[in-house]
Amino acid sequence: MGANGKDICKGDGGSPLVCPILYEDDRYVQSGIVAWGVGCGQEWTPSVYVDVAIFRDWIDGKMAAKGFDPTIYTYGN
pTM over 0.75: no
Q: What is the pLDDT of residue 7?
A: 79
Q: What is the b/e burial string over 49-76, where b = at least 16 CB atoms within 10 angstroms of the residue's CB?
A: beebeeeeeebeeeeeeeeeeeeeeeee
Q: What is the pLDDT of residue 77?
A: 47
For 9-54, how does the pLDDT look when each residue is reduced to its tens digit (9 = 90+)?
888 999 888 888 899 888 888 889 999 988 888 887 888 999 988 9
Which of the two residues, 1 and 14, has the higher pLDDT score?
A: 14
What are the domain boundaries of the chain?
A: 16-72
CA angle 70, 72, 76 (to 5 degrees): 90
Q: What is the pLDDT of residue 38?
A: 83
Q: Which fold has domain 16-72?
A: Thrombin, subunit H (2.40.10)
Instruction: Say if residue 2's pLDDT is above 70.
Output: no
